[in-house]
């Protein structure tokens, strides 16, 4: 298991890739190097041939003995040497029977890719050939040297040179790969292992001290990632601790609210009896007392509902939306008393949605109640088509609009209320209902002329009666 993880580790991949890339670079250098070695080898033979041929000029009657000629040719390593000078003088050395050349090479007209190709072909050949070489003398560019010689010594020297180059390339590759591996392992792999181990330890136990990395002064990306991970872990620990405290507090508030609601219900029953009292002053203050008790009961009910629901279970059914809106209006408008509140339903009879009836009704009730408590006297509900098959249900009122504080904390529980003593749970619960159905709620407009919210619902079965969005 350990060897398998080592083979698949980043360190092993870096080592293999470094060796591979260095070897590729050495191969690209190898062919030109061998071609240059062949060219230099031949130029050395031509320089030796040039000097050997010039000995004829110093000999008596420009003639050398057969013994001296053989020594000169042996020194050059050729069967024949022809030297043509710029003044048209020609000096020649050669054995009695010069073998015919299998191939001739003119170095004066060879390009670099010709030299590379010729060098590679020499390396792969196995037969001993006689070749002719023609080129300018390295000693005098005005002189032309022509040699006839065996190719076997050239190939042997080239193979020896190529072997040394290959060995040197392998050593350079291993040394370079080792240095790069050690550097990258120290600069990248080990820090990344520490970061990974810290994340895994934090996942197992966020409070484990071993999950916290030490602070680093590195200014590169690794150091930045390590510092960001440390900050993120600190933020998550604080959030988890706050969540635990809020969970404990929520449990306590739920128990207190349950008991408080029972107490307030008893107080409401007693207050109803006070309404039939003969004392005019008692009858005068009783409605205000009943209103205060109703608000307290409603506060307890909303708090209990928000803390108890969690992820809302859906019981979907096909709902005529206009009928549901009428039911919500019937529930809300009697609460307005003599205020003259009107509930206008502009949803067509043909709009059928697939949703949880109780939860969707609850969301609309919360939106309508918020409008009434803000001072609205007219609430209009209309349906429009959104993107795709989505339904946009608009709840608009003619209230005074939302104050800046309420806009900043919109949809935040216990923070987004627009009135004193409110909990802000109405909009939070309505958004939770919409998102559970796969939609959302957004504030479309708010001003001194009123406020409108748009609830998006994705499951529309029938769109007849929906106006264009």
Contact 135, 107 (CB under 8 A): yes
Q: Where are the domains of the chain?
A: 2-177, 221-304, 314-463
Coil, strand, or helix at residue 95? coil
Contact 216, 223 (CB under 8 A): yes
User: Which residues are 150's β-sheet partners?
Assistant: 130
223: tokens are 């150091």
Q: What is the 3-state secondary structure (H, E, C) of 4-58?
A: HHHHCCHHHHHHHHHHHHHHHHHHHHHHHHHHHHHHHHHHHHHHHHHHHHHHHHH
Distance CA 120, CA 178 (A): 31
CATH fold of 314-463 reads Heat Shock Protein 90 (3.30.565)
User: How remote is the C-alpha of 168 from its chain's centroid?
Assistant: 41
Instruction: Give Cβ neighbours of residue 33 (< 8 Å, ≥ 6 apart).
Output: 161, 165
pLDDT of residue 459: 59
Distance CA 380, CA 367 (A): 11
DSSP 8-state code for residue 60 = G
CATH fold of 221-304 reads Helix Hairpins (1.10.287)
On the 0-12 / 13-18 / 19+ scale of CB atoms within 10 A, 110 is middle
pLDDT in tens, the chain (469 residues): 344 455 556 667 777 777 788 778 777 788 888 899 999 999 999 999 898 888 887 777 667 778 888 888 888 889 999 888 887 778 788 888 889 998 899 988 888 888 888 888 888 888 889 999 999 988 888 889 999 999 999 999 999 998 888 888 778 777 877 787 788 778 877 888 888 888 888 888 887 777 778 887 888 788 888 888 888 888 888 888 877 776 776 676 666 666 676 776 777 776 666 766 777 776 776 776 776 666 666 666 666 665 555 555 678 889 899 999 998 888 787 554 445 788 999 998 888 888 888 889 888 988 888 888 888 889 999 988 877 678 889 999 998 888 877 777 777 765 545 554 445 677 888 888 888 888 899 999 988 889 999 998 875 666 555 655 4
pLDDT of residue 3: 44
The DSSP element (H or E) to which 463 belongs, if any, is strand 460-463
154: tokens are 């050239």
pLDDT of residue 291: 64
User: Which residues are 384's β-sheet partners?
Assistant: 392, 467
Instruction: Give Cβ neighbours of residue 464 (< 8 Å, ≥ 6 apart).
Output: 348, 350, 351
Distance CA 237, CA 235 (A): 5
Distance CA 162, CA 170 (A): 12
Distance CA 166, CA 170 (A): 6
Nearest to 361 by CA among 437, 258, 270, 301: 437
Torsion of CA 111, 116, 120, 122, to 10 degrees: 40
Domains 221-304 and 314-463 share a fold: no
Cβ neighbours of 38 (radius 10 Å) = 23
CA distances from 296 to 20, 261, 273, 307 (A): 76, 8, 19, 17
């Amino acid at each position: 298991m350990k060897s398998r993880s080592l083979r698949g580790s980043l360190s092993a991949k870096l080592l293999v890739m470094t060796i591979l890339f260095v070897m590729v670079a050495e191969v690209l250098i190898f062919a030109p190097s061998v071609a240059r070695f062949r060219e230099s080898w031949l130029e050395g033979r031509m320089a030796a041939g040039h000097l050997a041929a010039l000995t004829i000029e110093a000999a008596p009657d420009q003639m050398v003995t057969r013994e001296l000629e053989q020594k000169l040719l042996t020194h050059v390593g050729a069967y024949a040497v022809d030297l043509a000078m710029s003044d048209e003088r020609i000096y020649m050395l050669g054995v009695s029977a010069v073998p015919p050349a299998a191939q001739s090479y003119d170095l004066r007209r060879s390009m670099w890719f010709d030299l590379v190709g010729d060098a590679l072909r020499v390396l792969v050949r196995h037969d001993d050939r006689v070749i002719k070489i023609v080129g300018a003398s390295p000693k005098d560019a005005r002189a032309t040297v022509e040699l006839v010689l065996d190719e076997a010594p050239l190939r042997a020297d080239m193979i020896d040179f190529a072997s040394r180059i290959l060995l040197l390339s392998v050593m350079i590759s291993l040394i370079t790969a080792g240095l790069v591996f050690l550097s990258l392992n120290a600069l990248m792999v080990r820090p990344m292992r520490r970061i990974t181990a810290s994340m895994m330890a934090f996942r197992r136990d966020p409070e484990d001290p071993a999950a916290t990395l030490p602070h680093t002064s590195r200014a590169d990306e690794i150091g930045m990632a390590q510092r960001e991970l440390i900050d993120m872990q600190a933020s998550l620990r604080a959030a988890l601790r706050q969540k635990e405290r809020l969970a404990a507090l929520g449990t306590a508030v739920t128990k207190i609210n349950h008991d408080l609601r029972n107490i307030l219900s008893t107080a409401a029953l007693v207050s109803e009896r006070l309404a039939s009292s003969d004392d005019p002053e008692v009858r005068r203050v009783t409605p205000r007392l009943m209103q205060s008790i109703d608000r307290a009961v409603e506060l307890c009910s909303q708090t209990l509902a928000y803390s108890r629901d969690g992820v809302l279970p859906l019981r979907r059914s096909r709902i005529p939306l206009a009928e549901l809106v009428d039911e919500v209006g019937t529930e809300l408008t009697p609460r307005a008393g003599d205020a003259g509140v009107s509930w206008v339903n502009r949803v067509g009879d043909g709009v059928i949605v697939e949703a949880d009836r109780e939860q969707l009704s609850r969301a609309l009730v919360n939106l309508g109640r918020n409008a009434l408590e803000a001072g609205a006297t007219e609430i209009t509900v209309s349906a429009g088509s959104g993107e795709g098959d989505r339904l946009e249900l608009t709840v608009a009122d003619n209230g005074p609009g939302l104050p800046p504080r309420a806009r900043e904390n919109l949809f935040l529980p216990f923070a987004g209320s627009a009135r004193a003593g409110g909990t802000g749970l109405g909009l939070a619960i309505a958004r939770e209902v919409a998102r559970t159905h796969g939609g959302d709620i957004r504030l479309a407009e708010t001003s001194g002329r009123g406020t409108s919210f748009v609830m998006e619902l994705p499951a529309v079965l029938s769109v007849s009666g929906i106006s264009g969005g």
